[in-house]
Structure formats: structure tokens, C-alpha cells
Amino acid sequence: MGFISGFSKFNRSQRIDFIVQNTALNGSEAHDFDDYDSPDGNQQRIYSEMIENYVGNFPVPMGVVTNMLINGETYIVPFVTEESSVIAAASKAAKFWAKRGGFKATVLGVIKKGQVHFTWNGKQQLIKELFPVIREKLFEATQALTEKMRQRGGGITAIHLIDKTQELPDYYQVDVSFETADAMGANFINSCLEKISFALQDISELNSDECRVEIIMAILSNYTPECFVRCWVECPVEKLEGWNKALSYKSFATKFKQSVDIANIDVSRAATHNKGIFNGIDAVLLATGNDWRATSASAHAYASRNGKYTGLTTLTLTEKSFIYELELPMALGTVGGITGIHPTVKNSLAILKYPDARKLMMIAAASGLASNFGAIASLITTGIQAGHMKMHLSNILNQLNINFLESDIVRNYFSDKAISYNAVEEFIQKMRKKNEFT
């Protein structure tokens, strides 16, 4: 296939034709794209205008986790996920903790940051001395842009100069702190930063024949350690009885502690431990139209803040109590972005009873902690495969094109046996062979 230019100018069917002509996708498979179109023409137009080079919608299942008790209020939490056992694991943990006081959560800050990265070839001391005056000019330059956000209780809360010349010659940052009310605020932040970068180039004290500001870039930071949520569960140790009959509450607590300790000393385990947290968080962020890539990037950076990547949870286990907590940075929005134009996102926010951004941070964190707790509790008792494969059996049956009657027989047969793709396929073959002769 040669180089193509102007693909984005094609209409949708021209794009699909091009893909069929140049890839392994055949014409009849390409029709599948239409199957997921919205029957509402206006909504379909909205989807098609959301991104460049649009070819179709991509269905992913949405389910809910029930019994999520957070700060005394019970939520039904929408999860969008392709992974079979995620909702089952989080639901089991949510129910378990609902009977033990539920999840507690608190937002510790909502400050987001961005930087203008630039070089300046004058004297370090001079720019530092000039900066109080420069700061005022930069605030001034953004007044019109921040007006509406200030009315909503947000805006720019601080502007600092960071000297990075020890690390890169002539390199400085203007580090800007923002509050963005209930919006994630990426567009607002980036617009302000670009305005600040133009203003920096206009400041006469910094731009003369001897020295000049050269802007490298102006962009928000997805690392948001000051936009931060803490969520925890706690109970007397003996109240842990009941997750699994095979393990006493004492052994459960001890093994749970060991599993959290392992995630704090071993990077291989830490990544998987944190992935289990994001099984829940990402599912909520997808359902509510939030930027899960940003949140993941921030949390993984935070997990490495001490120079070593570790698990994001902490367990405090004493003779008497079990306190399990998750702390992580998270920048979310419940207005703006696609929240007002995506029908399922709108439904998700309605299911959550229209939370503000802070509440959504707590709901997402609790969903992450529930997912992680459910995973660890299974791992240290039954292992996860039993539950996971039970859920995954439907995918295997669908992949093997099984009919309705056969499905019941297979499900029945595997109700007390280990499930694998090969075992199921073999059983179906035998069953069909047997039926040919009877």
C-alpha cells in the first residue's frame, strides 16, 4: 500500500472502501461498521464528528456494580469494560464492604498544573528578580480567558518560575496552578498556557538585543499530585471472616498484608496490583467520558514518586484492625468534554445521581479499591481463574458458535470443572459426535 494523503477529506464510505482495498478487511465485514450506528441521526452525526478519520462506533459492554456504599451513600456504579470478571470482582468486594461500613473517601486537593517550557539566555538572577512583575503581567494577560472559570469558583491560583538551568542550558518553566471547578479543564488550562507563552514573548524586560524568550511548548501536566483522592475501608480484623470459608480471618489478613507488601517491594507484582486498581477506575472513567489515559499516566508517575515503582495501596494491619487504603492523583470532570454529548455518558452520570467532580473522584477511587480488593481476596483464596473463567465461558462459547441448547449442556457440564478453551472445544466436539450417532 502506498502513502495516502487527504484520507481525512474522504467521506465515511470512501474511507471504508479504501480500508477494504488496502487491508485484510473484506467488504462484508466492513458492513459491520453500520451495525453500530445510532438510529438517531443527530447522535450519529455527533459520533462521526468527535474524531478524525471516523469509520464507525465501537461497542464495549457496560454494566453496573451495585451496593457501592461510599461515605454512607449507596451508589449503583456504571462500569464500561471488555474484561469478563471485572464487574463480578468489584461487586463481590462492594457487597462485602457494604456490610462492614463501606468505603470512606476524601478529596485532598483539586489543583491542576501546567507549564510553559522556554529558554531565556539572560542572567538567572535577573529573571528571578523580575518575576514578581512578570507574574502580574501574566495574570493580566489571562484575565479575559479566566473570567467565566473565576465565576464558577476556579481560575489560575498561582504562577511560579522554575529554574531548570542546572539540568538543561537556559531552560526555565512558568509553572501555573489551576482550579477548574467541575471540568477536567484540559482545554481551559492549555488555552491559558498558550496565552501566557505569547505574553512572555512580549515582555520587554525579557526580550531585547541581548536576550530573548524562546518558547518550547505550553501544555498541561498530566501529573496531578495536588489533585488527589484518598479512599479506604476498615473493620475489626475478625470481621474479615466470610470472604472465603476455606481461610480463617487471621490467615486472610496475613496473606492480604503479604500481597500488599509484595506489591511494594517488587515491580513485577506492583504493575499487576495497580492494573487491578485501574480495572475499576478506568471502567468508571470510560462510562463517565473521562480521560483514563491521563489518570493512568498520573497514577503511574505517582507510584514511582520515590524513585521506585510500587503499589498504590497501603494496608495497616494490627491485632485489632484492618485498614486498607488507596491514595492517588486523579483529575476528573463531570461537565465539559463529551459529558454533554455522549448519550451513554449522560446516562452514567444520571445513574450516579449527577456527581460533581470531587464526588466522581471518590466514586472512581472506591471502584478502584473494590476491584483491587476483590482481586487480591480471590488471589489469596481460590485464585482468580475459577471466577474469571466462569465469566469467560460465554466468550468461549460465542467464539465456538455454539447454539442455545448446546450452551446449557456445556455450562452444566463445566459448572464444577476447570474451564479452558481447549477443554470446552473438546467437550463440544465429543458432544456433537455423540449426537450424530444417537
DSSP, collapsed to helix, strand or coil, labels residue 5 as coil
Distance in Å, CB of 80 to ligand MEV, minimum: 15
The answer to whether residues 231 and 330 touch, using CB atoms and an 8 Å cutoff, is: no
**Contact present, 338 and 286 (Cβ < 8 Å):** no
Smaller CB distance to ligand MEV: residue 276 or 329?
Answer: 276
CA-to-CA dists, residue 373 to 165, 197, 211, 412, angstroms:
45, 45, 56, 29
**299 near 278, Cβ under 8 Å?**
yes
- Given the residues 275, 300, 346, 390, select the one marked as catalytic: 275
Catalytic residue among 179, 291, 342, 392: 291
Q: Which is the catalytic residue, given 112, 342, 388, 392?
A: 388
C-alpha 337: how far from its chain's center?
Answer: 15
Alpha carbon distance 398, 407 (integer Å): 9
Q: Residue 87 Cβ, how far from ligand MEV at the closest point, in Å?
A: 12
Angle (CA) 147 150 156, round 5°: 95
Closer to ligand MEV by CB, 270 or 357: give it.
Answer: 270
Between 221 and 371, CB nearer to ligand MEV: 371
Nearer to ligand MEV, 351 or 379 (CB): 379
Q: What residues make contact with ligand MEV under the rule CB under 6 A?
A: 83, 272-273, 275-276, 279, 375-376, 379, 384
Strand partners, 158: 177
The residue (of 64 and 384) whose beta carbon lies closer to ligand MEV is 384
Is 129 an annotated catalytic residue? no
Least distance (Å) between residue 365 CB and ligand MEV: 16
Question: Could you say which of 83, 194, 327, 356 is catalytic?
Answer: 83
CB of residue 264 to ligand MEV, shortest distance in Å: 13
CB-nearest residue to ligand MEV: 276
CA 200, CA 156: separation in Å to the nearest integer? 16
| Total residue count of the chain as it appears in this document | 438
Strand partners, 355: none
Nearest to ligand MEV of 190, 385 (CB atom): 385
CA–centroid distance for 363 within its chain: 12
The reply to whether 261 belongs to the active site is no
The contacts of residue 438 (CB under 8 Å, 6+ apart) are none
Report in angstroms how near the CB of residue 82 gets to ligand MEV at its nearest. Answer: 11
Closest approach of ligand MEV to the CB of residue 77, in Å: 17
- Angstrom CA distances, 31 to 60, 66, 217, 406, stand at 18, 36, 42, 29
Select from 367, 361, 359, 385 the least CA-distant residue to 277: 367
d(CA 133, CA 149): 24
> Is 83 one of the catalytic residues?
yes
Catalytic residue set: 83, 275, 291, 388
